[in-house]
Chain A
Amino acid sequence: MSRDPLVVGNVVGDVLDPFIKSAAMRVIYNNKELTNGSELKPSAITNQPRVEIRGRNARTLYTLVMVDPDSPSPSNPTKREYLHWLVTDIPETTNASYGNEIVSYESPRPTAGIHRLVFILFRQSVSQTIYAPGWRQNFNTRDFAAVYNLGDPVAAVFFNCQRENGCGGRRYNK
């Protein structure tokens, strides 16, 4: 069984298909680089992170997607995946602020359970117009990539996030 944290954490499976990493993406919250499977509080992620894409060819463009597959709760993810951020046309060697923000960054505020939050990077073959979905919930990264011919992801990283304080109380699910 693969030991890749993305596989172990079921990100590959719930959100993505297996892929080969071919881009160097760094996600930086509060001057700290994000590592797979780490845990951040909502207060630490209220503002959008700096997402750098290292490389040599500034003509290569990338699309960044940030989703929460465990919305509203991991045991009942009826809103999987909840789209938090969508930026396109990010040139290699720069960061996400140079791209086209299609869906603005929404600060994650999980109420129930421990949510995974995933950043996915796609390499664009051309500069293309990508339309914002009508709503954030029930976004499907796989379908999105298929519709816009983005191909397989080239990089991904995820972290965990739960309520700032306490557990939110008992849920009386059916």
Chain B
Amino acid sequence: MWSSDQQQHMNTRNMMSSSSSSRSSPSSNSSVLVPQAPTAKRRTMEELWKDINLTTLHQDHRSYHRFPGDGSSPSFRNIILQDFLAKPVNQALAISPPAVEEHYPPPKSALSLNSGLEFQFLAPDYANSHSSSSPNASFVSSALSAAVAGPPSPSGLFSLCSKRRLLPDNTTTGVDRHHKRMIKNRESAARSRARKQAKTQTAIYL
């Protein structure tokens, strides 16, 4: 029932009707983006944020500014971003900073599972920047703030949110391009439906 409601809401948005009345609060809008069950998100949220930390730390010493454009990370990121944005934004913001902070100690051991070599590189970094907000936290939280600033305007919501999902890194990955393309296709489909309906309505009235 929740998902079908969201689906209908998404269809309404796709019709580009600017007159969505009661549901136009930013938090509910952002949760329309991915119509999935909410309960699964909450459970895995902590683990996903831990995983974000793992990947950011993993690549921190290699290339600070980029996620690799291909390989295993993009799909990883895909899940994380979608899940993140599926939640109401305020709540996501409230949850994630403490999640980011409290996971600093555990990844030391978790990192060793990924690669023993990197662990030695990162241990000194941990020691230095444990208490203060490390680059990783600021990286992630700047992504958060960028996403938080995203949803407010209701018009063109889909395209606006898809732009905000780009992390501070300017290059669009394949995932974001696919998402933009999907949104454009949906808008085009909505226009096509509107055209068809306009034709039939005219025929009725004539």
Answer yes or no: A74 CB below 8 A from chain B CBs.
Answer: yes
B199 engages A114 (CB within 8 Å): no
Residues 180-206 of chain B: 1 if any A CB is under 8 Å from the residue's CB, otherwise 0? 000010011001001101110110111
A74 engages B191 (CB within 8 Å): yes
Mostly, the A contact residues are loop
Answer yes or no: A3 CB below 8 A from chain B CBs.
Answer: yes
Contacts A8-B197, A75-B184, A75-B188 known; A37 to B18 CB distance under 8 Å?
Answer: no
Contacts A3-B201, A74-B188, A75-B188 known; A9 to B16 CB distance under 8 Å?
Answer: no
A5 engages B202 (CB within 8 Å): yes
Answer yes or no: A95 CB below 8 A from chain B CBs.
Answer: no
Which of A1-58 touch B at CB < 8 Å? 1, 3-6, 8-10, 13, 35-38
Answer yes or no: B91 CB below 8 A from chain A CBs.
Answer: no
Bound: A8/B188 CA distance, A = 15
B195 engages A160 (CB within 8 Å): yes
Bound: A160/B184 CA distance, A = 20
From A4, A13, A75, A173, give the contact of B201 (CB < 8 A). Answer: A4
Listed residue (A8, A35, A36, A75) with the most chain B CB atoms within 10 angstroms of its CB: A8
Q: How many residue pairs at the A-B interface have CB separations less than 8 Å?
A: 47
Answer yes or no: B132 CB below 8 A from chain A CBs.
Answer: no
Chain A residues, Cβ within 8 Å of B205: 5
Chain A residues, Cβ within 8 Å of B197: 8-9
Bound: A35/B206 CA distance, A = 9
From A1, A5, A74, A173, give the contact of B198 (CB < 8 A). Answer: A5
A37 engages B195 (CB within 8 Å): yes
B177, closest chain A residue (CB): A174
Bound: A36/B49 CA distance, A = 52
Bound: A10/B190 CA distance, A = 11
Answer yes or no: B17 CB below 8 A from chain A CBs.
Answer: yes
Bound: A36/B195 CA distance, A = 10
B12, closest chain A residue (CB): A1
Residues 128-166 of chain B: 1 if any A CB is under 8 Å from the residue's CB, otherwise 0? 000000000000000000000000000000000000000
Chain B residues, Cβ within 8 Å of A75: 184, 187-188
Residues 161-174 of chain A: 1 if any B CB is under 8 Å from the residue's CB, otherwise 0? 00000000000010
3 cross-chain pairs, A with B, having the tightest CB-CB distances, nearest first: A37-B198, A9-B198, A5-B198
Known: A5-B201, A8-B194. 4 other contacts (CB 8 A): A8-B201, A10-B194, A36-B202, A114-B195
Report 19 cross-chain contacts, Cβ distance below 8 Å, ordered by A residue: A3-B201, A8-B194, A8-B197, A8-B201, A10-B15, A10-B17, A10-B194, A13-B16, A13-B18, A35-B202, A35-B206, A36-B198, A36-B201, A37-B202, A38-B202, A74-B188, A74-B191, A75-B187, A114-B191
User: Which residues of B does A touch, CB under 8 Å?
Assistant: 15-18, 184, 187-188, 191, 194-195, 197-199, 201-202, 204-206
